[in-house]
Structure 1
Amino acid sequence: MIRPDYLKKGDKVAIVCTARKFSKEEAELAIELMNSWGLEVVLGDTIGLDNYQLGGTDQQRADDFTKQLKDPEIKAIWCARGGYGTVRIIDDIDFTGFVDHPKWIVGFSDVTVLHSHIHNLGVETIHGIMAFSVAKSLVDSRDSLYRALFGQEISYTIHSDRSNKIGQGQGELVGGNLSILYSLLGSVSSMNTEGKILFIEDLDEYLYHLDRMLHNLKRNGLLSGLAGLVVGGMTDMHDNAIPFGYDAKQIILSITAEYDYPIVFDFPAGHGEENLALNLGREVKLEVNQDRTQLTFL
């Protein structure tokens, strides 16, 4: 995988809308954070645009993202917020020259569209807090994004959940929001996960939706050849009046029962209180033991 140059003080970071709208006033805390790291923020043309839910029309959002990709002074593109809308523009973004002159693309949730598509171009990206997230993000989440952007060593150790599947695995870390990965199946943006460690997280889904999405990933071969599975926050899951009968962990364990790779639950990344930065496309080692789990970026 191609790794963009790490940032250094004085570099420029662009904030753009690929999905939901984001105002200049909302950007203030994100600008302060980047400035505290010695970075200069450039607000994209879509910041402040209002097209119902979206930060501008599809064409405006695609053009803004392309503009930042082409600008040699911009060293990273920080997506303003998620919601919905990135899939509407992914085929209109011009990635010509991006592989030769890559830059960091940062975000999570709906930005999984970009993570997955860019992974197929062979370039690393960063799954982490967005500009909108700064106001409610924990210090650890912000610090982890700093380390990812500036090339510092990253290794996460957490307490093991009793539902974990013990073992070790090594491979490229891929993934993101489960609903988005599910929606990309069959398209040019869908990834090959063979031999890789898959990260998934989701928000505000019904348990039977979770079951359906994972069965579809399985039927498409995305779960069979993994080196490991990292399950982040399955936040605010819902059930029907007649219970589905399984919680999120039980659903995942049931669908992956025939596979022998390690599985870790409750990894602190996603829509929960903590959202640690993950360098997607990076080779990682996953060690799941009885008492602790360690994810080390190599």
Structure 2
Amino acid sequence: MVKNVAIVSLSSGIIGEPFVQFEVEIGLKRLKEYGLNVKLMPNACKGLEYVKAHPEKRAEDMLAAFRDPEIDMILCAIGGDDTYSMLPYLFENNELAETISNKIFLGFSDTTINHLMLHKVGLRSFYGQAFLCDLCELAPEMHPYTRKYFEELITTGTIREITPSDVWYEERVRFSPDQVGTRTPAHPNQGFELLQGSPVFSGKILGGCIDSMYDIFNGDRYADMPVLCEKYHLFPEAEDWKGRIILLESSEEKPTPEQYRKSLEYLKERGVFDAVNGVLAGKPMDETYAEEYKQLLKEVIAKPELSIVFNINIGHAMPRCIMPFGVEATVDTGKQIIRFAE
């Protein structure tokens, strides 16, 4: 059972900005109502400008949280777009490998890069939720589906199975104090959709936000990101993907079909789809480009026998489950369930 939680800002430092403090207070209150002791790491709340300018301080916070014997869970504040800049401070002298301990690590979006860092040093992690995005939800309570998985994680230390949400929610467009207690429109959810391949397949899951993976190979956002990711061998080799299931979910930037195609092509060029046992694709935010993404997954991967499942409630579309990485999983679309062995 989780008792002590450390909150880290490994990408954006937004939780230190005055305009989000009313949200932060909501999230801290909910964590404390669970009986959790919360530790905001020293640099987590220093604001957007400071956190962006000091990747070495972000790395210090991450390492310190792993070193602290009292911390049970490391919860990422939010994503962002430049957590890759921590790479030299975590890998140049094997800092992360020499520091990691068996703690729960939870985050999503740009935190995909942190998950790949942890995979590189052999630590399992959990993908799907974050502090500001989920614990600080402005509705009267966390979304029930989201809350169910968060509660399971903090009470059992793991996730046993994932089933689809009955509904999905439109993205909130206004974040201000007058929105506290309001809900966004909900719509019926269609469940896990098998696009092709066997309805039952197994493997350890790895992956995350397809936008972040795109930036590993494309320097349009940050010219040095592909350089650093290559230098520190961040992206797993094709052999490492053998027998795994890759998770792909898209960000709030709602990548165009053209960028989505290019992202899939980058992964294909690196032998990912020749190695994996299956593909899990997240529901896009507001279902934007859903039909185009489904077509592109089949068209670009071009392996009709490879199982592809669409519409997983994870990542940027509300509500969100939590998915263990590095644990043997069995996907059964007929029974609409993903089960985890441990």
What amino acid maps onto 1:154 in structure 2?
R
Q: Report the CA distance shift for 1:153/1:80 in structure 2 as closer, same or farther (over 3 A).
A: closer
Q: Report the CA distance shift for 1:55/1:104 in structure 2 as closer, same or farther (over 3 A).
A: farther
Instruction: Give the equivalent residue in structure 1 for 2:78.
Output: 81
Map Cα deviations across residues 66-107 of structure 1 (whole Å, 9 max, x no partner): 2212111112111101121211113313314345x2211110
Answer whether contact 1:165 1:288 (CA < 8 A) is retained.
Answer: no
- In the alignment, structure 1 residue 154 sits paired with structure 2 residue 160: yes
- In the alignment, structure 1 residue 226 sits paired with structure 2 residue 276: yes
Helix, strand or coil at the partner of 1:263: strand
- In the alignment, structure 1 residue 193 sits paired with structure 2 residue 254: no
Shift of 1:51: 4.1
Structure 2 CA distance for aligned equivalents of residues 53 and 274 of structure 1: 31
Instruction: Give the equivalent residue in structure 1 for 2:129.
Output: 129
Shift of 1:162: 6.3
- In the alignment, structure 1 residue 69 sits paired with structure 2 residue 66: yes
What amino acid maps onto 1:181 in structure 2?
M
Q: Report the CA distance shift for 1:21/1:55 in structure 2 as closer, same or farther (over 3 A).
A: farther
1:46 to 27, 43, 47: 43
Instruction: Give the equivalent residue in structure 1 for 2:145.
Output: 140
Instruction: Give the equivalent residue in structure 2 for 1:171.
Output: 203
Aligned length: 281
Answer whether contact 1:211 1:251 (CA < 8 A) is retained.
Answer: yes
RMSD: 2.3
Q: Report the CA distance shift for 1:225/1:152 in structure 2 as closer, same or farther (over 3 A).
A: closer
Structure 2 CA distance for aligned equivalents of residues 270 and 225 of structure 1: 23
Answer whether contact 1:48 1:55 (CA < 8 A) is retained.
Answer: no
Structure 2 CA distance for aligned equivalents of residues 202 and 268 of structure 1: 12
Gapped runs of 5+ residues in structure 2? Answer: 165-190, 218-228
Helix, strand or coil at the partner of 1:184: helix
Instruction: Give the equivalent residue in structure 2 for 1:95.
Output: 96
What amino acid maps onto 1:182 in structure 2?
Y
The TM-score normalised by the length of structure 2 is 0.75
Answer whether contact 2:106 2:128 (CA < 8 A) is retained.
Answer: yes
Q: Report the CA distance shift for 1:211/1:282 in structure 2 as closer, same or farther (over 3 A).
A: same
1:287 to 288, 311, 332: 332
Shift of 1:121: 1.6
What amino acid maps onto 1:272 in structure 2?
A
Gapped runs of 5+ residues in structure 1? Answer: 1-6, 240-245
Structure 1 CA distance for aligned equivalents of residues 201 and 34 of structure 2: 34
The TM-score normalised by the length of structure 1 is 0.86
Answer whether contact 2:118 2:125 (CA < 8 A) is retained.
Answer: yes
Structure 1 CA distance for aligned equivalents of residues 105 and 15 of structure 2: 20
Q: Report the CA distance shift for 1:23/1:152 in structure 2 as closer, same or farther (over 3 A).
A: closer
Structure 1 CA distance for aligned equivalents of residues 106 and 276 of structure 2: 24
Structure 1 CA distance for aligned equivalents of residues 108 and 120 of structure 2: 17
What amino acid maps onto 1:106 in structure 2?
L
- In the alignment, structure 1 residue 253 sits paired with structure 2 residue 295: no
Answer whether contact 2:59 2:86 (CA < 8 A) is retained.
Answer: yes
Structure 2 CA distance for aligned equivalents of residues 125 and 106 of structure 1: 7
Structure 1 CA distance for aligned equivalents of residues 41 and 279 of structure 2: 35
Shift of 1:184: 3.2
Helix, strand or coil at the partner of 1:68: helix
Structure 1 CA distance for aligned equivalents of residues 288 and 329 of structure 2: 32
Shift of 1:46: 1.8
Helix, strand or coil at the partner of 1:95: helix
Answer whether contact 2:81 2:212 (CA < 8 A) is retained.
Answer: no
What amino acid maps onto 1:255 in structure 2?
V
Structure 2 CA distance for aligned equivalents of residues 97 and 33 of structure 1: 33
Shift of 1:148: 2.6
Structure 2 CA distance for aligned equivalents of residues 117 and 87 of structure 1: 9
Determine which structure has the larger helix proportion and give its number: 2
Helix, strand or coil at the partner of 1:266: strand
Shift of 1:286: 0.9
Structure 2 CA distance for aligned equivalents of residues 53 and 268 of structure 1: 33
What amino acid maps onto 1:293 in structure 2?
Q
Q: Report the CA distance shift for 1:163/1:218 in structure 2 as closer, same or farther (over 3 A).
A: same
Answer whether contact 1:77 1:105 (CA < 8 A) is retained.
Answer: yes
Instruction: Give the equivalent residue in structure 1 for 2:266.
Output: 216
